[in-house]
Structure 1
Amino acid sequence: MIFKVAFALGIGVVRKSILELLLRHRNPKAEGGRRGKHSLQRKFVLGIGVVTICIVFLSITVLQRVYNDYAEARDNFAGISSYWLVLDAANRISAERGPANVAMASTNIDNAASLQRLAASRTLTDQSQDRLDIQPPSPFGPVPASLLRQVRQQLLRARNNVDHVAALPPAGRRPDDMKSAIANMFEVVDLLRVLTVWRGNTVIARDPSLAGNVVIASLLTDLREYGGRMGSQIIVPVTFHQKLSQEEGDAKDQTRAHLLEIWRTIESFRVLFEDDARVLQAHDEAERLFFGEGVGYIDSVVSQGKQSGDYLTTASELTERYVPTLRTLERFRVVFLDVLLETMGGIRDHAWFKLVEISLATAAILLTLVGLMLSAHFFLFKPLLLAGEAVVDLAEEREVNVTDPAGIYGGEMLRLFDAIGVLRGKLSERSELTRQLKNEAETDGLTGISNRRVLDFVGENGIGEAAAPSARCLILLDVDHFKAINDTHGHGVGDLVLKEVASLVRSIVPPRAIVARFGGEEFAVLIDGADLGRAVTLGREIRLALQQHRMVTAKGTQINVTASFGVATGLGGLDGWNRLIEEADLALYRAKSDGRNRVRFFMNGAMAQKDCPKTLNTEPRPS
């Protein structure tokens, strides 16, 4: 449930990132422009990362479970394989007693052949024990070396006793010597049983579900051991043609009863192997040949021995007839363990293939996510971010290239860039229209210089970077006798005069000065700073240049134009600007009153007299 919630959250983050990307540039300043505080690409990567982490955690959980199944199947296979080797070693020792009994009971005629069979059997026994030494590492641990060493030492003593008896001539052999050698062989199996119990317990401790199979394998080994013991218990009387003693008869009866008890116990676990035809066939064969023929044959020999020592069979014949029935028990055990290992191997292999399959699927999903992230970055976020930056550039009136030179984007993205191209064209048209409207709103239509609105705005707020209420100087000039020019030459000539005056003034004043049409035939020059002397000097330069300028009409008529000037200095701001206009206007009015074509200035809150201060040179009389 946690993984589902986290996965949904990751998908939500990705979806939200895409939606925010489309709306990102609606307010570039609020979002921080193209370098916003929150990167949508990081959000996308975060979303993909969350989904990836969830998939990884989910995959790890599934992989852990599958790996545990695989590890359990692998360990069970290794445990049963190791148990199989221990049981096989025990079975080989049991099987070695048959050739050993024949060798001790053989005559001079068949002694060489019996010894040869004994040597071959001992080789198989030794090989089974060597396999216990070279088992691969397993979670069950190695076979205890000390216990295996004791088994080999006991086996060596038992073999020495067998060889001693077999080396004696038939007439020199005694029943007690042969019984002692057989008993020594029994002791080897009893000692090895400790090892089989230990290994069986380690397998069951690791996986209790294997208890039934371990028990059956152990019972089948015991079945072969006690089946062999039943034959060994009567081999001595048969060899020496002795009547079976009460003790020997009771021992045989106990062994027979124990065999039947083992078989009934195996039958109670029949559900564990009845589904496999091979095991059932081996079971039926053991039941028919061993319990039907082998046990019956031993019963008949025992019956003869209880009556007298005159047996109808020899020790060699007894072994040759009885041992084949014991091999059915061996085959039952081998088939059962082989099928069990085959099943466990299948479970192990299935778990391994499932582990590999899920691992590859997880790797494919992760690679797909990486590819999705890279593809989304390249084919989705990169073009969208480029488009977003283009929108910001367009909004900030910067030049932007919205084409796709590489031709890598198509479909919706291509249409998006086409749309931005159209938007750029529309914004360019609007920008040009806005510029024209702004120019018309701020420029006098006749003279091409600034109008009164611009002059008032700058006067109140400052020139360039200067801010109100900084000091500034204002020059007001009025064309002398302009009405007479209009009346004499017409309004067309009057308009020409105004244009010429504006052009002349613009050519003389500093670049940062504001030249504006104040109204009618009045013009204004606004200069930043409080240097009244510089402003008066500039006014005189303009007056003199205008006086010396010759204007010619279209008809060739020459017109002499002069102007009166009023200069003042003051602060900006609404109140300061209005006061500055009033003072400059008073100075202009004084210039007109004094005869026109002259410069007058307002200083220190009063109109300057005809004799100017020393800082301001008195202008020459107009010619």
Structure 2
Amino acid sequence: MNALRSEHISRRLWLAMLVIMLSVALISLPLIVSSYRSYQKSSEALQEIQSLKMVAELSNKISRERAPANNAMSSPQDELPEQLGALRKYRAEADIQMQQAAEVLRRTGFAGAARELEQNFKPALALGRQAVDRYIALPYGQRRQEQLDQAIASMFMAWDQSHAVLQHVVSQSKGKDTALSNYYTLILLLADLRDQAGRTASNIMAAVSFNEPIPEENLARFMQTQRQTQYLWQLVNVVQPEHDKTPEFQALHRRVKSGFLDQGLPLIAGLVDESLKGQPYSMTGPQLTQAIVGKFSTVVDLQSYILQYSVDAARQELQQAKKKLIYAILIVLVSLLTVVLTMIYARKWVFEPLIVARRQLFALAQLEDRPALESSRHRQGSSIFDAISRLQKKLQQREALEFQLKHIAHSDSLTGIANRFALDEYIKLLEKQPSQFKQTCLMIIDIDNFKQVNDRCGHIAGDWVIQAVAENLKSCVRASDLLVRYGGDEFLVLIENISQETALKVAEKIRKGVLASEILQCEELAEVNVSISAGVAVGAASWMALLARADEALFRAKAKGKNTVSD
């Protein structure tokens, strides 16, 4: 009987060897298929990012068309023929680039984006150009500031459509889920940054050209655009991975900082200040365009570098995927060969000796005392269960530690409320159901005169003020609402399912509570006049739209003289 059992075991071993070989074969196929799909995905990502590069360059081309258009609309009569010639030449180049972009989009599988380019962007650009041409055709004596401003706004709408095509390409791209995802985000950010840069000057172009005060609406747009430009600039530096911040990138980055942010924006801000003080402008419309174009070119240079760098990165990704596919095939072949040789070796030098050993142990077992064997088995089982119990305790301790670490990572150390990490997680949840944004209230709360607190009373007092505001926020909202410390002295409050009227009441309650805070009434802060200003927005199509609305409301609150709530 023992011999029969040994033969049975031998057959099972052969069967196990066959199962292992089949398992390796089954594992090998998915590995090769996965490597091939990665290679195919990298190839598609390269085509996609090349298409994205072309659309981004087209979007930039349309944004830059405002410069020759503004020159033609604001030039003196003796310079008009020359400026018209430059504008027509630029338009012809843009039209060729637009046709090429449409063809590339269709060829690379973005037929929807190509249709959007033809059906939405092209008509919008035509309308913008018509508005520019109608203004140029007006006799100089009949021209008005409002007409020039409307023509400039028409070109803004044309760029908005080109940016929509750019977003369409990104949303339909499969490569945005790969290691190249940062480049897709950067391309969108830089396209928006370039346009916002242009809008800073265009918002005041009409008033400067006619030497008239800048309208309040244009001033508000200028302030919003200026803030948006600074915000986008910060995002560009954050999104760009550290290992991709090459010396060339850093040099271009410094040029944008020194040329555009430190020189271009102050130049425009100076003209705005002249308007507010009722002083004559220090330059004309054409002079403004000429002075600012060079500053904008630094943004274009950085964008062009990122676009080319992203294409090069996609090519490298494709090469790496190709190497991985080749390595996967080689590894699978080597693995199969190794398994076969190992099985042959194991049969002869492992399994057969084990069968012999089993026979010997079986013979010895006949001589052992059965109660002793049962006692030994019981002790071994207890030892195993003890080990499992200890392992479970270790896992529970680790889970508790991970929970504590996650809580710390998502909380602001000074106030104990949520930080930006928690906000990002919350936004991700909302973006899974975009309709939620239409029912969500966002308050942006900014501490007035906070810099004076730090300057006059020290940073410890500044921390007291921040903590006092945070405590007041906790007492004024529900536990289910999200409180976020968004910046040094800036807080966000997100409330779901609330009306505009109720939201304003909550914001007013917060403002009054902060004003009456015992800490803010102390002698050290008496001369600073610490208070808060709040911008309230309820409902939007997306997070960025909701943030923009609340940001505009905060600007209006600040413009009213601070210590106020605006929607």
State TM-score, norm by structure 2: 0.51
Find the partner of 1:327 among 292, 297, 304: 297
Partner of 1:579: none
Distance 1:76 1:205 in 2: 5
What is the match of residue 231 of structure 2? 261
**Shift in CA distance, 198/253, structure 1 to aligned 2, threshold 3 Å:** same
Match of 1:213 among 177, 183, 186: 183
Matches of 1:362 and 1:269, distance apart in 2 = 38
2:273 and 2:75 map into 1 onto residues whose CA distance is 23
Residues 552-582 of structure 1 deviation map (CA, whole Å, 9 limit, x = unaligned): xxxxxxxxxxxxxxxxxxxxxxxxxxxxxxx
Alignment of 1:448-463 (within 5 A): none
> What is the distance in 1 between the residues matched to 2:327 and 2:82?
58
1:582 corresponds in structure 2 to none
Change (3 A) 1:208 1:342: closer
Task: Report the CA distance between 1:300 and its aligned residue.
Answer: 1.4
Deviation at 1:266, TM superposition (A): 2.2
Distance, in Å, in 2 between the alignment partners of 1:206 and 1:324 is 33
Match of 1:298 in 2: 268
Relative to 1, partners in 2 of residues 1:85 and 1:216: Cα closer, same or farther, differing over 3 Å? same
- In structure 2, give the amino acid aligned to 1:217: I
* In 1: Cα distance, 2:116 partner to 2:221 partner: 32
| Aligned match of 1:161 | 131
Distance 1:309 1:178 in 2: 21
Please state how far the C-alpha of 1:305 moved relative to its aligned partner: 2.2
Structure (1 or 2) with the larger CA radius of gyration: 1
2:54 alignment partner in structure 1: 85
Is it true that 1:180 corresponds to 2:150 in the alignment? yes
Please state how far the C-alpha of 1:240 moved relative to its aligned partner: 0.9
Asked if the contact 1:103–1:114 (Cα under 8 Å) also holds between the matched residues in 2, the reply is yes
Mind listing any 5+ residue stretches in structure 1 that lack a counterpart? Answer: 1-7, 14-49, 369-623
Q: CA deviation at 1:291?
A: 0.2
**Which residue is 2:92 aligned to?**
123
Are residue 244 (structure 1) and residue 214 (structure 2) matched? yes
Q: 1:273 to 1:174 in 2, by over 3 A?
A: farther
Corresponding residue to 1:67 among 16, 28, 36: 36
Contact 2:47 2:108 in 1 (8 A): yes
Measure, in 2, the Cα distance between the counterparts of 1:302 and 1:320.
17
Report the counterpart of residue 196 of structure 2 in structure 1.
226
Q: Equivalents in 2 of 1:355, 1:208: separation in Å?
A: 17
**CA pair 266-56 structure 1, distance change in 2 beyond 3 A:** same
Within 5 A, what are the aligned runs for 1:28-39? none
1:194 paired to 2:181: no
Residue identity opposite 2:263 in structure 1: E
Unaligned regions of 5+ residues in structure 2, if any?
1-12, 338-567
- Offset, 1:361: 9.4
The alpha-carbon deviation at position 142 of structure 1 amounts to 4.7
Q: Does the C-alpha gap of structure 1 residues 364 and 167 become closer, same or farther in structure 2, counting only changes over 3 Å? A: farther
What is the rounded CA distance, in whole Å, between the counterparts of 1:126 and 1:140 in structure 2? Answer: 19
Other-structure match for 1:311: 281
8 A contact 2:274–2:281 mirrored in 1: yes
Q: Whole-Å Cα distance in 2 between the matches of residues 333 and 340 of structure 1?
A: 10
CA RMSD of aligned residues (A): 3.3
Q: Is the 8 A contact 1:87 1:221 kept in 2?
A: yes
Higher alpha-carbon deviation: 329-338 or 125-134: 125-134
Partner secondary structure for residue 89 of structure 1: helix
SS at match of 1:312: coil
SS, match of residue 350 in structure 1: helix
Q: Is the 8 A contact 1:161 1:181 kept in 2?
A: yes
> CA shift at 1:69, angstroms?
2.0
Correspondence 1:325-404 to 2 at 5 A = 325-355=295-325
Superposed CA deviations along residues 446-494 of structure 1, whole A, max 9, x for unmatched, are: xxxxxxxxxxxxxxxxxxxxxxxxxxxxxxxxxxxxxxxxxxxxxxxxx
- Amino acid aligned to 1:187: M
With the length of structure 1 as denominator, give the TM-score of the two structures.
Answer: 0.47
Q: Deviations over 1:260-301 (max 9, x none)?
A: 121122232243565322222221211111101111111112
Which of the pair has the greater relative contact order for Cα pairs under 8 Å at 6+ separation? 2
Matched, 1:271 2:225: no
Structure 2 counterpart of 1:109: 78
SS in 1 for 2:88: helix
Distance in 2 between the 1:271 and 1:209 partners? 11
One-letter amino acid of the counterpart of residue 192, structure 1: S
> Which residue type is aligned with residue 214 of structure 1?
Y
8 Å CA contact 2:60–2:194 kept in 1: the answer is yes
Give how far 1:195 is off: 2.0
Cα 1:110/1:125, change in 2 over 3 Å:
same
Q: CA shift at 1:324, angstroms?
A: 1.2
Measure, in 2, the Cα distance between the counterparts of 1:360 and 1:314: 70
Aligned CA distance change for structure 1 residues 140 and 209 (closer, same or farther; 3 Å): farther
Equivalent-residue separation in structure 2 for 1:132 and 1:260 (angstroms) = 30
What is the CA distance between 1:254 and its match in structure 2? Answer: 1.7
1:122 aligns to what SS in structure 2? helix
CA shift digits 1:132-179 (9 cap, x unpaired): 221164466552414532211111111112112223343332222211
Q: CA deviation at 1:71?
A: 1.4
Number of the residue aligned with 1:471? none
- Range 129-138 or range 225-234, more displaced: 129-138
